């Protein structure tokens, strides 16, 4: 039985060297990092080493990194603190953000704390930057919350341009970088980003740990009240092993970035080409051949009588892929991203997402499975 994992945007397998680094600490250190005695101090030093290492990878100051339980908490912290601490009254976002952002902004709007503005999208799913500028022109005290790469269709935002627009109009910029940290180089000193979010499990780190970057110009008050952890911003004893694992995973990802980018982009291009040859009428959602995250390919298959069964048939053949965002896969509601882009709901869409461990042979196998499914469906 084949076991092919093409759902790396949902989560990635943990890197063996990350497991090694985490286990070493688990076996030897158990102190509470808030304790002032020797057992505590050793663990405190591990956390601060991890913070320095993360800051070095992203070219920011260690004091700008706050460890969290993952991407959702980081997004929540950035958005809610912007409203509570900086008097944000208008949040400009898009209909295709992750639910960690959309549901948070919607809740704040329902509570009457902010007005929510949805920026227009171009037919290929990119943000209409002219509309963004006009929204910024007409709304003061604004936070722009737009993701760097869309987790379902892979579209990439020009964060340099958006950062400059936000600076020009005196707005805060929160960028959900959950799908791109560990996959692209970042220079946070150069980018005009106020907040960004990270989840370690998207780049071969452990689950349940991430961080929020808060630019030093934006001093926030505690998000989770309690102890003085994370310099008072997030109470609660730290996820020490997770933090050690996150830093190790980011270090490995940063060292191998160029090599892995080339390998994974090659797989994506190859799959696009092979699918177009194998299945007539296929297309790709979003700007797959343009400004697009190299790890994600969202395929729009032709109408078929096996649409509902496509993911199941792939699963039976040993291929794990996803019908949209994994975060909502249990809800059976379909994808809010594909709906916002007006994708024909009769055409099944599947998101394939790649990691460094995937091979050309796995792509060949997957394309053959799909070809067979569509050939059989045509005969039925
Ligand atoms: C773009 C984006 N933002 C936020 C999240 C939430 O991250 P986590 O599940 O680690 O909280 C995800 C996870 O799928 C994501 O893809």
Render pLDDT for 198-231 as a digit per residue (tens, 0 to 9).
Answer: 999 999 999 999 999 999 999 899 999 999 999 8
Handedness of CA 264, 57, 35, 230 (dihedral sign): negative
8 Å CB contact between 217 and 237: no
Nearest partner of 280 among 374, 182, 347, 209, judged by Cα: 374
Tell me the sheet residues that pair with 74: none
Q: What are phi and psi of 92, to 5 degrees?
A: -105, 120
Site residues for ligand 1, CB cut-off 6 Å: 70-72, 75, 98, 100, 147, 151, 176, 178-179, 199, 210, 327
Residue 265 belongs to what H/E stretch?
A: helix 240-278
Q: H-helix or E-strand containing 24?
A: helix 16-28
Cα–Cα distance for residue pair 287/291, rounded to 1 Å: 6
Closest residue to atom 7 of ligand 1, CA basis:
71
Q: How far apart are CA 18 and CA 244, in angstroms?
A: 8
Residue ranges in the chain whose pLDDT is less than 50? 325-331
Q: What is the pLDDT at residue 379? A: 83
The Å distance, Cα 199 to ligand 1 centre, comes to 7
Closest by CA to 189, choosing from 167, 216, 168, is 216
Amino acid 324: pLDDT = 52
What pLDDT score does 325 carry? 39
Place of tokens 């950035």: 78
Which pLDDT does position 206 carry in this prediction? 98
CA nearest 174: which of 120, 215, 133?
A: 215
| Ligand 1 atom nearest residue 325's Cα | 14
Strands (E), 69-176: 90-93, 115-118, 142-147, 172-176
Question: What pLDDT, on a 0 to 100 scale, did the predictor assign at position 131?
Answer: 98
pLDDT of residue 377: 87
> Which atom of ligand 1 has the smallest separation from the CA of 150?
1
Residues in the chain: 380
Question: What tokens appear for 265 in the block?
Answer: 């982009």
| Helix residue spans in 87-227 (DSSP H) | 99-110, 129-138, 159-168
pLDDT confidence of residue 1 = 57
Residues 6+ positions from 277 with CB-CB distance below 8 Å: none
CA of 74 from ligand 1 middle (Å) equals 9
Is 327 an annotated catalytic residue? Answer: yes
Parallel, antiparallel, or unpaired: how do β-strands 195-199 and 4-5 relate? unpaired
Q: What is the pLDDT of residue 307?
A: 83
| CA 248 to ligand 1 centroid distance, Å | 20
Residue 345: the pLDDT is 86
Mutation pick for ligand 1 pocket among 79, 327, 335, 336 (CB with most ligand atoms within 8 Å)? 327
Q: How far is the CA of 41 from the centre of ligand 1 (A)?
A: 32
| Tokens coding 117 | 């503005």
């Amino acid at each position: 039985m084949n076991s092919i994992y093409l759902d790396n945007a949902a989560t990635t397998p943990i890197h063996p060297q990350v497991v090694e680094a985490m286990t070493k600490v688990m076996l030897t250190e158990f102190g509470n990092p808030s304790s002032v005695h020797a057992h505590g101090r050793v663990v405190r030093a591990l956390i601060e080493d991890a913070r320095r290492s993360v800051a070095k990878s992203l070219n920011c100051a260690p004091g700008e990194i706050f460890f969290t339980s993952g991407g959702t908490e980081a997004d929540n912290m950035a958005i809610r603190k912007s409203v509570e601490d900086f008097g944000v009254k208008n949040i400009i976002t898009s209909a295709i953000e992750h639910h960690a952002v959309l549901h948070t902004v919607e809740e704040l709007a329902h509570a009457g704390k902010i007005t929510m503005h949805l920026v227009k999208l171009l037919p290929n799913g990119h943000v209409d930057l002219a509309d963004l500028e006009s929204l910024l022109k007409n709304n003061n005290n604004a936070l722009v919350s737009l993701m760097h790469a869309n987790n379902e269709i892979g579209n990439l935002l020009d964060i340099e341009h958006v950062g400059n627009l936000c600076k020009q109009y005196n707005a805060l910029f929160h960028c959900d970088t959950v799908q791109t940290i560990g996959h692209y180089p970042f220079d946070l000193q150069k980018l005009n980003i106020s907040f960004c979010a990270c989840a370690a499990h998207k780049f071969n780190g452990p689950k349940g740990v991430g961080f929020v970057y808060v630019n030093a110009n934006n001093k926030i008050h505690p998000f989770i009240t309690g102890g003085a952890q994370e310099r008072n911003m997030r109470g609660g004893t730290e996820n020490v092993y997770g933090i050690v694992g996150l830093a190790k995973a980011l270090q490995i990802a940063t060292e191998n970035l160029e090599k892995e980018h080339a390998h994974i982009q090659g797989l994506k291009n190859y799959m696009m080409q092979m699918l177009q040859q194998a299945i007539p009428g296929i297309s790709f959602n979003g700007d797959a051949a343009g400004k697009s995250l190299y790890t994600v390919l969202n395929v729009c298959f032709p109408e078929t009588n096996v649409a509902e069964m496509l993911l199941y048939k792939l699963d039976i053949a040993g291929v794990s892929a996803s019908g949209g965002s994994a975060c909502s896969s249990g809800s059976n509601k379909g994808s809010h991203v594909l709906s916002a882009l007006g994708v024909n709901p009769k055409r099944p869409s599947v998101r394939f997402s790649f990691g460094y461990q995937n091979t050309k042979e796995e792509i060949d196998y997957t394309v053959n499975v799909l070809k067979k499914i569509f050939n059989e469906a045509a005969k039925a």
